[in-house]
Structure 1
Amino acid sequence: MTRIMVDASRRVSKSTGQYFWAFKLEFEYAELCLSLFLAFRPASRPFKLLLAVILRARSFTRLASWTQYPGMPISQLKMGGKDELPLNSKPYPVLILPTEIVVEIFLHFLPVYPLCPPLVGIESPTTLSQIYHDWREIALATPALWRAISFFNGGCSFERQVAISNTWIRRSHPLPLSLRSVAPTRDSLDAIVPHFLPHRERWEYLCMHGVDTLTAFDGPMPLLRHLDLYVRTPRTAVITFNTAPLLHSVALIYTSANIVGLPWAQVTTLRLTGPFMSSVCVSILRQTSNLVHCELQTLAYEAAAPDVTLLRLESLKLTVNRLDEHPLQKALILPALRRLTLIEYDANLKSVPSLEMFLEKAGCARLEELHIKTSTPVLGLGAAYRTAFPSIPLFNFLY
């Protein structure tokens, strides 16, 4: 049975500081699928290194010669001499894999959607189109490889990022899109938004950090499931996302809730990060009747807050200055809560009875996990927490 052996070493060039990765794999065609799908986890480094070795072989003709002379450094193999083997002289397993298997391998090469790969570099899907002409055709004909696009992640100029992203958007049609843009400057994001807008009906996961206005985003988004916004300066009219029937996950970072109209009743996952007033948090929470997971960072608050009942909330991450002074301590009713993470910047020994009061008011009889983190070490605080909550199965205390 045809056998491939790739044998190389890992060494470091002191002059350039570059790492040359290699490894040893030996498999038969009958074992190839198991080697790729069982021995390697999706997107694992050994799998990516296999493609990197193929890339550094520069061509499959040179790689073919290398398989016949495994002891010879690949750099010494000639491209066109008597040592070269024609590709059609024998079938190599990696070349005769079914297209369906190659597609699965390519998809495992990328981060799990909706995470975005880099636009350039060895971990970009473009790499998969540069290995072998048949693989290039497969890569270009696989829309799922090009559907997750991240801007401003380094590696190339702004103009090239625009060109690459437009190409990926075309190749990914008609699949939904995951778009992420964390702009270093206001002007750069304003310049990229027009390239996104014509494809608004394909947006599924949208992360926009650094926008100056939301006016351009006003319109139907029938596939949108996740929205992550950071508005740099809230000088904009109220923009509603009520034409997003699938939206269930929302993250607002230093963004005034007064400028965003969202279908809160359908949201199941919510993250509010920034100096949100407790009154704003309460106003939002009272509309999120189906909330299951929630993260709140509320460092500014008023004297009191009305009760908020969230019957379905299972996970809460709460970041405050001091729980005993926060109005949410006596406002939240969470009968289904199973996991609580409390980050308290200015903790003290009063924090323990404050948390006991919080859990009693919330009615957390089903709490299974309690994670507490403080920014200032307080002598005996960790032991006091452990003594106060012995019945909670999983407990962690960090500072």
Structure 2
Amino acid sequence: MMPKKPKSQRPKVKPAPSPFDSLPVEIVVGIFMHCLPEPRMIDPMNRALAPRLLMRVCRGWRQIASSAPLLWYRFRVKLNEPVWNGLELTAILERSAGLPLHITLYNPIQTASIKRVGHLTALSRYCERISHLALDMSVSAFDAFDAYWGKHHEDAKFSSVEELSLPEIYQPVSLTNTIHIFTDASRLKRASLFAFTPQLVAFPCANLVRFDGRAYTIQELASLFFATPNLTECTIHLDLNPINPGLLALPITHTALQHLRVSGNWYNGTAMSDVLLSWNFPALQSLEIQHGVLGEESDRVIASFAQRSLMLQQLSLNIPPRGMTEFVRSFYTPFPSLHTLTVRHISYGFLEMFFEAFAVDSTFLPGVSVLHFPYMDCVIMLTSLMKEAGPGILKRRALQPSDCALEGLVVTSEKLPAGMNFKGLGEGMPKEGLDVLRELRKNGLNVSITWNTVKESSEFVF
């Protein structure tokens, strides 16, 4: 056995240079950002997720972290009891290298008092760079923040804010004073006000293209549409309690609106139908009618949109709690441009009525080429239905070479039925039903069954 040589006599082997050493810092930063599992997990204001931890690894990582503005432009700022002082926040803001800032101001304590702290003073000097602003706090804290900002930072204007999200309050809000800190936000394009109405929060509405609101009355919605001529996308929750019969038929027209999602409180289905029958959106391309809206007169409501919104391409509906026959009958209404229909909260009885008409009558949803059922149990219902009624209930309509041929059947879900894992999904279906789905896929029908979760999206393999 050969004796070991002393370390001083051993040949020194130089480590091979890393290929990353020859790349520009910008490219290395791009590779690093691409490898992050979720960019939103990086938060400069969080000690566990801060990019400054990278700067402690070595000089190379410090150079990468300090040269990556995308690591420093999005963060949350605690109003009271700050994690960082004003100097540290200033250093973070400088590393963002002039990028538009995405900032969330939050107050975990349900208190109305706002302390005068250094990090808010530092933030006020960068107000004009804030393009996305979200406020996560109680109503009283929001009211107090407005008073605090107007008193201590009156000259700091949120003039560059393009996207604004107010506290997620879903009940009607009552404030003693109107919020004025956003009156200079002339670039505002997207606003999520939740239960705060434009009357409670003063801000320019003329350039809004997207709006999200909750617990709005008919009058408030009419005022909103009147003040937003460029609005193209709107999500609204209507509150008709108490019902004012004199306002139910208030005509509302908007010529630019293209995408609408509407829900309501189920106090009176007839009253909600009267409201929707008075709406006119000629440029509408997608419509999603959620819970608490459709009632026994669903056929009249759907027919009204079909006649007034001739550009409607995507329609998403919740099955009403009553009036199933009228709901299915509404699909005989001709939609000139409709190609995708989504139906939620389905039952076996609905599928049976729906496909009995769909399979044999070309006047039933004649232009629809894609059916979407966001409910995993629908797969088992469909295959059971085809076992009882025969495979032709889908095949006859799917394989005919005409304008009313079905091209796609999509089933998605956020969770699987109880006691079933995704890999064993086929075990819950009749074999005959699976054979029909396989045959339809071979003949060109795009049948897809997808299970979506936060972490992954999987597709059933036939």
Give TM class, smaller chain: 0.5 to 0.7
Give the deviation of 1:109 after TM superposition. 4.8
Matched, 1:205 2:128: no
CA distance in structure 1 between the partners assigned to 2:203 and 2:164 by the alignment = 10
Matched, 1:221 2:172: no
Matched, 1:129 2:49: no
Structure 1 match to 2:271: 325
Of 307-316 and 117-126, more deviation after overlay is shown by 117-126
Amino acid at match of 2:260: L
CA distance in structure 1 between the partners assigned to 2:305 and 2:226 by the alignment = 18
- Over aligned residues, Cα RMSD in angstroms? 3.6
Q: 2:132·2:162 contact (CA, 8 Å) conserved in 1?
A: yes
Equivalent residue runs for 1:275-286 within 5 Å = 275-286=215-226
Deviation string, structure 1 residues 293-325 (Cα, Å, up to 9, x no partner): 111111236332543332111100111235641
Amino acid at match of 1:315: H
Partner SS state of residue 264, structure 1: coil
Q: 1:296·1:319 contact (CA, 8 Å) conserved in 2?
A: yes
Partner SS state of residue 261, structure 1: coil
Equivalent residue runs for 1:308-323 within 5 Å = 308-321=252-265
Partner SS state of residue 343, structure 2: strand
Query: Per the alignment, do residues 127 and 369 of structure 1 end up closer, same or farther by CA in structure 2, a change over 3 Å counting?
Result: farther
Give the deviation of 1:353 after TM superposition. 1.9
Work out the number of aligned pairs and report it: 309
CA distance in structure 2 between the partners assigned to 1:249 and 1:122 by the alignment = 31
Match of 1:160 among 64, 83, 89: 83
Structure 1 match to 2:102: 178
**Any unmatched runs of 5+ in structure 1?**
1-80
CA distance in structure 1 between the partners assigned to 2:333 and 2:113 by the alignment = 49
**Any unmatched runs of 5+ in structure 2?**
1-6, 346-462
Structure 2 match to 1:22: none
CA distance in structure 1 between the partners assigned to 2:226 and 2:97 by the alignment = 39
Partner SS state of residue 186, structure 1: coil
Query: Per the alignment, do residues 87 and 174 of structure 1 end up closer, same or farther by CA in structure 2, a change over 3 Å counting?
Result: farther
Equivalent residue runs for 1:132-143 within 5 Å = 132-143=58-69
Query: Per the alignment, do residues 205 and 194 of structure 1 end up closer, same or farther by CA in structure 2, a change over 3 Å counting?
Result: same
Q: For the pair shown, which has the larger CA radius of gyration, 1 or 2? A: 2
Query: Per the alignment, do residues 365 and 229 of structure 1 end up closer, same or farther by CA in structure 2, a change over 3 Å counting?
Result: same
Amino acid at match of 1:280: E
Matched, 1:373 2:307: no
Equivalent residue runs for 1:286-325 within 5 Å = 286-300=226-240, 302-303=244-245, 304=247, 306-321=250-265, 324-325=270-271
Amino acid at match of 2:201: V
Equivalent residue runs for 1:1-399 within 5 Å = 89-109=15-35, 117-118=42-43, 119-120=45-46, 124-151=50-77, 159-160=82-83, 167-187=91-111, 190-191=114-115, 194=120, 196-210=123-137, 211-213=142-144, 214-215=146-147, 216=149, 220-230=157-167, 234-239=175-180, 241-273=182-214, 275-300=215-240, 302-303=244-245, 304=247, 306-321=250-265, 324-326=270-272, 328-345=275-292, 347-360=294-307, 363-374=308-319, 376=321, 379=324, 383-388=328-333, 392-399=338-345
Partner SS state of residue 397, structure 1: strand
Of 326-335 and 189-198, more deviation after overlay is shown by 189-198
Amino acid at match of 1:177: L
Deviation string, structure 1 residues 260-315 (Cα, Å, up to 9, x no partner): 12211111111112x22121111111111111111111123633254333211110
Percent of aligned pairs sharing the same letter: 19
Query: Per the alignment, do residues 299 and 168 of structure 1 end up closer, same or farther by CA in structure 2, a change over 3 Å counting?
Result: same
Q: 1:239·1:260 contact (CA, 8 Å) conserved in 2?
A: yes
Deviation string, structure 1 residues 210-262 (Cα, Å, up to 9, x no partner): 22343326653232111111277623334163422321111102224322122
